[in-house]
Homo-oligomer: A and B are copies of this chain.
């Protein structure tokens, strides 16, 4: 997490923005919001270029903040599925607003780039990746 101030206990908003600003974090949340719950390996494939270490670290953080859940299925090989919690979905709602601003300010008109749109498909896509 990027430090936000010198203080040990930054304010709630700083905590939240700190979480979101970590590398890859928005990308991961975006994939989970458009794709629904996703397994570790698939997540790693979709978030191109991320290392397992980083992905694990980010997922742990997001889980700790209760923005995503982790579902462990002790099959062989094991299946671990990650998805947005209600908190996560609530957050995505606001992120969409923020994204609208950002698109207006920085976005080129020629369509969003891969991994760069927050769309409201959280509800509909939430279950089709577990199988």
| Chain A interface extent, by class | 35 or more
Residues in chain B near residue A107, CB distance under 8 A: 12
Q: Chain A 31-72, CB within 8 Å of chain B: the 1/0 string? A: 000000000000000000100000000000000001000000
86-117 of chain A: CB within 8 A of chain B? 87, 90-91, 94-95, 97-99, 101-103, 105-107, 112-113, 115-117
B13 x A116 contact (CB < 8 A): yes
B5 x A23 contact (CB < 8 A): yes
Rounded to whole Å, the gap between the CB of A71 and the closest CB of chain B is 22
Most chain B CB within a 10 A radius of its CB, from A9, A14, A22, A113 = A14
| Complex Cα gap A22–B70 (Å) | 29
Query: Does any Cβ of B come within 8 Å of A118's Cβ?
Result: yes
B113 x A11 contact (CB < 8 A): yes
A binding-site residues for B, Cβ under 8 Å? 2-6, 9-18, 20-27, 49, 66, 87, 90-91, 94-95, 97-99, 101-103, 105-107, 112-113, 115-118
